[in-house]
Amino acid sequence: MSRWTIDEPTTLEFDGVVALRATLIAGSVSVVAGTGRPSVHVDSVDGPPLQVAHEAGMLAITHEKLIEGVLSWLRTQKASAHVTVTVPADCPVSLNLVSADAVITGIHARTQVRSATGDVTLHDVAGDIEANTVSGDVEASGLDGRVTFISASGELALAGGSLDRLAARSISGRVSADVELRGEGRTEIQTVSADVAVRLPEHASTRVVLNSGTGRVEASFPELARQDRAIARSVSGKLGDGSADLTVNTISGNVTLLSRPAHDALED
């Protein structure tokens, strides 16, 4: 195993990386797909140094003191770093963050981000994608594959891409999704008090079920049927041949389903 202790701006290069795992308290981490040699560029370190390890293609980045026990150390220490990592596009990525922000671009492999308060930005990421936050927001564009989002109060803003599956659960964080569902793709969104806004192509082939306990439910597709009851409101029906599925359930949030004209490109 090769190991480095880094306490100042540094750049490291590696012969090959097959998986990346990074754990940061504060600061930022950017993961970028590249065709050159994999590298780690540390722009700054505040507090305990970073520990970088590389063994059998596995690249790990963490604050040195985290190895000795997180809880006791966090009470007295400040740990922040700003790091940029370049890896092959097919490199699986796992990030564990407290308040650090993350940007991931061009990765076409399994991607997992767990964050407490840090924000997450995803662009041109494909494969199995999982983002779990407490209050951190997730902003994503150009995704492809299967997406899972779980948060207490963080918001999800998803624009562009072609998905096999989107599963989103939030308590109070707003969920906005403007995507296409591939073939028999499924979208399932659940919130407690958060509003939900979804935009589908005007010629979408999707079975739709939208439910809210006390919030408004609006849909711009006239072929969907509305049912308003004393304790719940719903809009449901089939668009086109109904090959895909869209289900939204919220207790008190508002639900809005919009139609995207065929000429309105997702990336606009």
pLDDT (tens, 9 = 90+) of the chain, 268 residues, equals 799 999 999 999 999 999 999 999 999 999 999 999 999 999 999 988 999 999 999 999 998 665 455 555 454 457 899 999 999 999 999 999 999 999 999 999 999 999 999 999 999 999 999 999 999 999 999 999 999 999 999 999 999 888 999 999 999 999 999 988 888 899 999 999 999 999 999 899 999 999 999 999 999 999 999 988 877 899 999 999 999 999 999 999 999 999 988 766 544 4
Residue among 175, 186, 163 at smallest CA distance from 257: 175
DSSP class of residue 202 equals T
Q: Give the integer Cα–Cα distance in Å for 74 and 89.
A: 34
Ramachandran area for residue 183 (φ above 0: left; ψ -120 to 50: alpha; else beta):
left
Residue among 239, 255, 236 at smallest CA distance from 197: 255
Contact yes or no for 89/127 (Cβ under 8 A): no
Determine the Cα angle at 33 with ends 28 and 39, to 5°. 65
Where along the chain do its domains lie?
1-118, 125-268
Residue among 204, 181, 187, 200 at smallest CA distance from 249: 187
Contact yes or no for 91/22 (Cβ under 8 A): no
Distances (CA, A) of 20 to 34, 54, 88, 260: 14, 10, 10, 37
Q: Give the integer Cα–Cα distance in Å for 181 and 239.
A: 13
Longest Cα–Cα distance in the chain: 65
Q: Which amino acid is at 209?
A: V
Q: Residues 6 or more apart from 265 whose CB is under 8 A from it?
A: none
Residue 244 has a CB neighbour count (10 Å cut-off) of 24
